[in-house]
Structure 1
């Protein structure tokens, strides 16, 4: 089935190309459209490519989203060869929210990630342990991220904070975060939000996806309280404290900064400048956390 599909003749339009991946739109002669993704785990020199947190998006679709019964776009065909995965996804006909962002997109996305919290929490035992560990944002991984970040930025207090947080949040349920819930990864289709691009997905006990929605609220004059309430109601949470949301923000910023620093010098994109912005956000959240915890 896969070989037959990939043997077809398509009109291919490259949508974006990064150092380790390429996304294209494929159109058959009859007008049927798909999205093709190619991920290179090995670069042209035979060395490991820089991919988000060492992830494999096809693996996430096959071994995480599917067993968790999380809503996601359908994988039409896929194949692997050494160092590369190629897969084709259904095409979602709709508006990429980054093209014309609106508050309603965030409100509906909050419902989606609330459902993601509830569904992934309830079905987490369906994920293979090896796969889970690979995509779990553990204390050890976070401390390694901080060690690398410390080469560029002052992280005073964050190491002990991380250790304390993992001890405290060990009592919280672990669930799947998309980790890149920006407008560019939302399709508004038929009055609903469809989430795409799961390459950065990770398990953790932190409300990091909610933070990503909240940070975009000002851009579209969205009511933050509606976003939070939609998330809580969809997730089935009785309450959500400021501290919990700050911790979610902090544990989003740490892997994001680490990833951006890794990408310095690739793709002619100002990754270091972006890392500086996220570092500022991290410090702001950390200071506020200390204020309310004093």
Structure 2
């Protein structure tokens, strides 16, 4: 009897199909296609075959990933970072934290060699951010030795004082370093960072969010917040992340100078000035540079992938009653 086969269900079905093909050939009719062999174009584009009752999969080649030369920096695959203002304070702490995580760091202050290697993953490069040509020149010298995956803007020269006590020279110095200096670094570095999928961080200050009479130069921080958000809108589609961090009172040489200046202007003691400036944090003491460095390093890795155009308030709660 034609079509009676022994074996599995799949074998019987395939035998029946072969019998149908034979009958069609004898009668001169076109054979129907095998219904048990098909291509399934699902989400993963897999070829599906049914043989002897077993469903087999063969994964087709997947689409290519990111363009060549573009990569997302992670803690496991650290990159190269330029810390502008990295010789002291928060910038120095960021350089140390990234270096400990496996990054190669280029540390810049106003004074220093052109580009000098200190050890296998640490370099020094002096740069004067008040001079556009020097920023470009230093950036190009760094690129001759390594590509950049991250840039941290952390230079600062803004003095404490009210608008009635600050001189024009003090304002000019702060604008050249804190505002225009950041702009020069951003303008120089962002095209290269975009090409590599890198990130730029502007370390600004909590005074950008809260106005106080005895720190009038906080308005420069507000301008940098505006700049950071605008740059993110422009450069995110090109491949670069741009974000900012607004630290609160942090235990640095600059904070000590600010406390002394505030005490002199208010005719108070240093202890009273410190309590007024740093006592508003939830621990009633200045933040440590290391805690802020840890935050910035995390945001430069996979944890910060969703952070673009944001300016994070990291003030220890000192502005909680104002914002």
Larger Rg: 2
Instruction: Name the TM-score, length of structure 1 as normaliser.
Output: 0.27
Q: Which has the higher contact order (CA 8 A, sep 6+)?
A: 1
Greater percentage in helix: 1
Q: If the length of structure 2 is used for normalisation, what is the TM-score?
A: 0.25
